[in-house]
Structure formats: structure tokens, C-alpha cells
């Protein structure tokens, strides 16, 4: 989890504790209704713990319709425990002292301090069994330094998105195995939902109100939060969506195992990125653009200076020489742009830092023009863009507000399209992410296919004998195209060797790739011999 200043978090909680019904005992609201039980007739198809022994989940299915539901089973407080809980919250907020130094894990800090305070006051608060005190401490941690009622969902590593469409509507999640499914969690009134969202926005260090009802921010842990507050812009009440951030992101090996890339495709990108090729990833919403881009970045040569530019932090790279730049919203009121730092500003500023590779999380406006200017001066570049295919992407690039001259289009060397497709594997039809095609741009409206996905066989078909990029690289480094394809196959063997040994962590994969850059012949000989390659992953400062 990213560093969080507990001092600031507790201060904000104390400022809004009356709003959260924590200020005075007589202001405590009726406790929220517990999650709904398993619907009658549904069959449990999967279950696993989220946080033992307090929270578990069951995935259930309606045998008649095939519909899935996500059933959260969380230990609830009984009326006596709830009464003690309300009183102990006041004591915790009054007595927990903020740490002087920044700490890594606020949950651990809170748990240790809360236990000391509870041990001090538990006798005066009335007798309760130990199990009740464990439940009270769990709910206190969940509500004060966690994410409130959605905290168990944020603990589930299988969840990609959490979204609430308004009051009286079930919370929905995007599950890696079951896609978009309904949960049994629901906010029954405006006050309860508004309080949760205000808390989330405060955790992100932002402000939300009826005057400023739209917020886009990063939560602790780099989770992306989007909020529409109250009924100012939505008639159903407050709505929010959280895009969860993976601390252990998908590596190129993970995506090969999932079928998004093939070994041959990954080796091709590896070779192109070594030679400063520019790459654009296309796709629709939730197609996996950022995930695909992040995995490709693992293939960049170690020591290269990388600058990433995003609106909210989503990229996570293993490289040491990496600068992450994040856009900032305006501090001004009434539509002014005082203090605003746009993607356009960041792309311009990044050029003064002499990057080898410039990665823009998503281009949609004027920043595209500066990015293409950077490509024209010899910098490497990577980006994503919302578009279904290359033709629609070029139309967007050459139109307002990006307004890229057609003559600049070939500066983006490679364009790959990622889509979410439904495939039948065995007896089940599930959603998978696939690179539909990889195109090399020879000129405006002159595109050469390098790889294409065959949906019938779920395989990738290459056309490297006609590859424009490989021809350019062979001329640049002074080798024949045949020798270059042989090098591509060697890298394919290295990737296959990592898959066989289950080397999948993005840091471990980056370490092997760094070793190959440094000692290609020795590493390849070990791969052919089936030997182990010992690498040391440099530990980063927490």
C-alpha cells in the first residue's frame, strides 16, 4: 500500500466526525442494514475468505438463468456491541495521537493504537467477550482508516472495479472470473451513501460538495475514484466508481499466459522497444489498454529514463530511472483554471527532463500534438487511446482537438488494438482480452499488418517477412533481416523459459530481461540448457 499520512487522515476524520455521526452519542444514526443473504434457489459456485474471520464471499448462480451474484458475508455487530462501538469511536478519535513521522501502513498503526486504548477502557465500558471486542476493532478499523462498508470489496484481489449507481441500487463489481455481477451490498438512504463518498473523497485529499459535485481522484493505494455527488448531476443520488490498482501488476508473462499476447508478439515488441520504436495501444473502455501498456513497459531497456504522464496514477513500472507525473485539477472557483496542471503542461515539461521514453497514459487532447513533436525529435514514445481500430484512431488524431498533421502519423511506428472478446473454452463462455491486430505505419493511410489474431483457433498469425519495422531496424544496426528474426526467436525462447518456470512477477521478469540485455549470449545458453538464471532484484525504498 502506498504511503499515507495518518496524521492528515485522522485530522480530516475528526473534522467530519459529526457528519459521520461520530461526534455525539445522541447523533448516532440507525446502523446500516447488513448485506442481504443468498437469494433462494441460488447455488454456491465459489467461495473464499476476504479477511479472516470477519469477511468472506460466496459467488452464487441462478440455475435457471445462469445469473451470478456476489454475496458478501461480513460479521455484524449486535445491538449491545453497536452501543459500545459508538462510544469507543468517540474515545479513539479523541485519544489516538497522530504519528510525527510518515508511516507505511496506517491500518497496522491504527490497530496497534486502538488495541491499547480499548484495553484501557474496556472495563468501564461494560463486560463483553473477547470475540465482541475483536468485531468492534474490526469495524472501527474498517470505518476509520479503511473504505467503510465497501472495505471488504477493496480487499478482494479478484475485483477490478467497484461501482454504485445510486441510493437503493445494489453495488456492482467487475470480477476477473465472472465479469460484471451484482453484489448484496446496498445503500438504503442518501445520508449513508453521501457520508461514505465524502469519506472516500477526503481520503483522496479532495473536496466534494453540491457546488463541485464531480470529482476524479486517487485513493490511498492508487485506486482511481470517480464521483457524482448527490442529485446535482444524477437523479438517482450519489454515484461512484472505483478502479482498483494492482500492487503486483500483470507482467508480460502474465498476459502471455492469459492469451492477450503470444510469445512471438512479445519478442517482437521487445526487439522494437530496444530500438526506440513508438507504440500506441488502442481499445474501448475496460479493454485492457493500460494493462497492456504497463506490461510492454517491462521490456524497455534498463537504465532508460522513463517519464510517465497520467491524469490518475495507474502505471507501475519496475525501472529505477522512472519519473511519474500526474495532472492536477484547478484550485480556482467558478470554472477558473488557477493552479491547474494539464496533461499538455506535463508533456511539455517532460521534454526538459531528457526522457528516453515518454509514456502518456491516455491521449485525448492537445497533449497528443506535443507527444508527436517529441517523437519527431527522436524520443521514444508510448501511449493509449480510446478507439476501436486504427482507422478510427487516425481520424481522431487528425481532427480537433488533437489536430495532428497527416505527415506526422508515421512517427507512431506500431499500433496494436486490444479488445475484450467472448470465447468458449470447454463448456464455458467467458470474456478474454486479446490483441486483435498489430499494424506498422509506413505512411498516412499506408498500414502494414505484422500480426493478426485468428478468432477461430485463438492463435496469432505473424507476417514478419514483410515487416517494415524489422527492415528498418536491420538497416539501422547493420544486420540482415534474417539475423534479426533469429534474435527475435531467441527472445521468444527466453520468454517461453520464464513461462515454464513460472517467473511471472513484473519485478522478476524485468530482472531477467535486464540480465539478457547485459549478457545475451550467456543467458541464452543457460536457457537452452534448461539451467536456472540467478538474478538479484534490487529492492526499492518503501
Average pLDDT over residues 268-283: 96
Q: For residue range 101-127, what is the model confidence (pLDDT) as tens digits?
A: 777 788 888 888 888 888 888 888 878
Q: pLDDT tens for residues 55-65?
A: 999 999 999 99
Q: Rounded CA gap, 503 and 508, in Å?
A: 7
Quick one: pLDDT at residue 331? 60
Which phi-psi region, left, alpha or beta, contains residue 309 (left: φ > 0; alpha: ψ -120 to 50)? beta
- Given a cut of 70, whether residue 26 has pLDDT beyond it is no
Confidence grade of residue 5 (pLDDT, cut at 50, 70, 90): very low
Would you state the pLDDT for residue 309?
Answer: 92
Please check the confidence at residue 540 and state whether its pLDDT lies above 50: no
What cell does 339 get? 493552479
Q: With bands split at pLDDT 50, 70 and 90, how would you rate the model's confidence at 333?
A: low
- The pLDDT tens digits for 208-255 are 999 889 988 889 888 989 999 999 899 999 999 999 988 788 999 999
* pLDDT surpasses 50 at 14: no
Q: Model confidence over 407-453: pLDDT tens digits?
A: 999 999 999 999 999 888 777 778 899 999 999 999 999 999 999 99
Task: State the DSSP string of 50-100.
Answer: EETTTEEEEEEE-TTT--EEEEEEEPPPPHHHHHHHHHHHHHHHHHPPPPS
DSSP 8-state secondary structure symbol assigned to residue 176: T
Domains and CATH numbers, the chain: 6-243 (3.30.450.380), 252-477 (3.40.50.300)
Q: In what order do the strands lie in the sheet with 43-51?
A: 43-51, 55-61, 68-74, 179-186, 170-175, 159-164, 239-243, 224-228, 214-218
Give the pLDDT score at 334.
Answer: 52
pLDDT tens digits, one per residue of 477-527? 999 999 999 999 999 999 999 999 999 998 999 999 999 999 999 999 989
- What pTM was computed for the model? 0.81
H-only helix segments in 259-335: 263-274, 289-297
pLDDT at 431: 84
Percent pLDDT > 70 in the chain is: 91
For residue 99, pLDDT over 60 is answered with: yes
pLDDT band at 336 (very low <50, low <70, confident <90, very high): low
At 432 the three-state DSSP class reads strand
pLDDT digits (tens, 9 = 90+) for 284-314: 988 899 999 999 999 999 989 999 999 878 8
Amino acid at each position: 500500500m502506498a504511503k499515507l499520512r495518518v496524521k492528515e487522515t485522522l485530522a480530516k476524520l475528526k473534522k467530519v466526525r459529526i457528519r459521520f455521526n461520530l461526534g455525539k452519542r445522541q447523533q448516532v444514526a440507525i446502523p446500516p442494514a447488513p448485506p442481504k443473504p443468498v437469494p433462494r434457489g441460488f447455488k454456491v459456485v465459489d467461495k473464499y475468505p476476504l479477511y479472516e474471520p470477519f469477511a468472506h464471499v460466496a459467488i452464487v448462480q441462478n440455475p435457471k438463468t445462469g445469473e451470478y451474484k456476489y454475496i458478501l458475508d461480513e460479521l455484524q455487530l449486535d445491538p449491545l456491541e453497536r452501543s459500545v462501538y459508538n462510544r469507543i469511536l468517540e474515545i479513539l478519535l479523541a485519544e489516538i495521537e497522530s504519528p510525527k513521522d510518515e508511516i507505511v501502513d496506517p491500518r497496522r498503526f491504527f490497530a496497534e493504537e486502538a488495541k491499547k486504548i480499548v484495553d484501557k477502557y474496556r472495563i468501564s465500558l461494560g463486560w463483553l467477550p473477547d470475540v465482541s471486542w475483536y468485531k468492534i476493532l474490526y469495524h472501527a478499523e474498517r470505518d476509520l482508516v479503511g473504505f467503510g462498508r465497501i472495505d471488504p470489496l477493496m480487499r478482494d484481489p479478484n475485483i477490478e472495479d467497484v461501482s454504485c449507481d445510486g441510493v437503493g441500487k445494489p453495488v456492482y463489481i467487475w470480477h476477473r472470473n465472472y465479469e460484471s455481477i451484482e453484489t448484496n451490498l446496498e445503500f438504503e438512504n442518501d445520508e449513508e451513501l453521501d457520508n461514505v463518498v465524502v469519506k472516500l473523497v477526503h481520503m483522496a485529499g479532495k473536496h466534494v460538495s453540491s457546488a463541485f459535485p464531480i470529482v476524479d481522484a486517487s485513493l490511498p493505494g492508487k485506486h482511481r475514484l470517480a464521483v457524482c455527488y448527490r442529485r446535482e448531476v444524477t437523479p438517482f443520488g450519489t454515484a461512484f466508481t472505483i478502479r482498483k490498482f494492482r500492487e503486483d501488476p500483470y507482467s508480460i508473462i502474465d498476459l502471455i499466459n492469459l492469451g492477450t499476447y503470444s510469445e512471438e508478439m512479445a519478442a517482437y515488441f521487445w526487439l522494437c522497444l530496444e530500438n526506440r520504436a513508438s507504440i500506441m495501444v488502442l481499445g474501448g473502455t475496460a479493454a485492457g489498454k493500460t494493462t497492456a501498456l504497463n506490461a510492454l513497459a517491462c521490456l524497455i531497456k534498463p537504465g532508460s529514463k522513463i517519464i510517465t504522464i497520467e491524469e490518475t496514477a495507474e502505471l507501475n513500472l519496475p525501472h529505477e530511472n522512472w519519473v511519474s507525473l500526474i495532472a492536477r485539477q484547478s484550485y480556482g472557483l467558478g470554472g477558473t483554471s488557477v493552479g491547474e496542471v494539464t496533461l499538455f503542461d506535463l508533456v511539455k515539461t517532460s521534454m526538459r527532463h531528457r526522457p528516453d521514453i515518454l509514456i502518456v497514459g491516455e491521449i485525448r487532447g492537445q497533449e497528443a500534438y506535443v507527444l508527436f513533436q517529441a517523437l519527431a525529435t527522436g524520443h521514444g514514445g508510448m501511449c493509449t487511446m480510446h478507439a476501436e481500430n486504427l482507422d478510427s484512431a487516425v481520424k481522431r488524431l487528425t481532427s480537433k482537438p488533437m489536430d495532428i498533421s497527416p505527415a506526422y502519423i508515421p512517427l507512431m511506428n506500431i499500433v496494436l488494438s486490444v479488445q475484450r472478446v467472448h470465447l468458449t473454452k470447454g463448456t464455458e463462455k467467458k470474456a478474454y482480452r486479446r490483441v486483435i491486430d498489430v499494424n506498422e505505419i509506413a505512411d498516412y493511410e499506408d498500414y502494414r499488418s505484422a500480426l493478426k489474431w485468428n478468432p477461430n483457433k485463438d492463435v496469432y498469425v505473424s507476417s514478419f517477412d514483410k515487416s517494415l519495422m524489422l527492415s528498418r531496424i536491420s538497416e539501422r544496426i547493420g544486420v540482415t533481416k534474417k539475423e534479426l528474426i533469429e534474435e527475435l526467436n531467441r527472445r521468444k525462447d527466453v520468454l517461453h523459459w520464464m513461462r515454464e518456470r513460472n517467473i511471472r512477477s513484473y519485478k522478476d521478469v524485468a530482472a531477467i530481461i535486464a540480465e539478457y540485455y547485459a549478457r545475451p549470449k550467456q543467458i541464452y545458453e543457460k536457457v537452452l540448457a534448461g539451467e536456472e538464471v540467478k538474478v538479484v532484484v534490487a529492492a526499492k525504498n518503501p
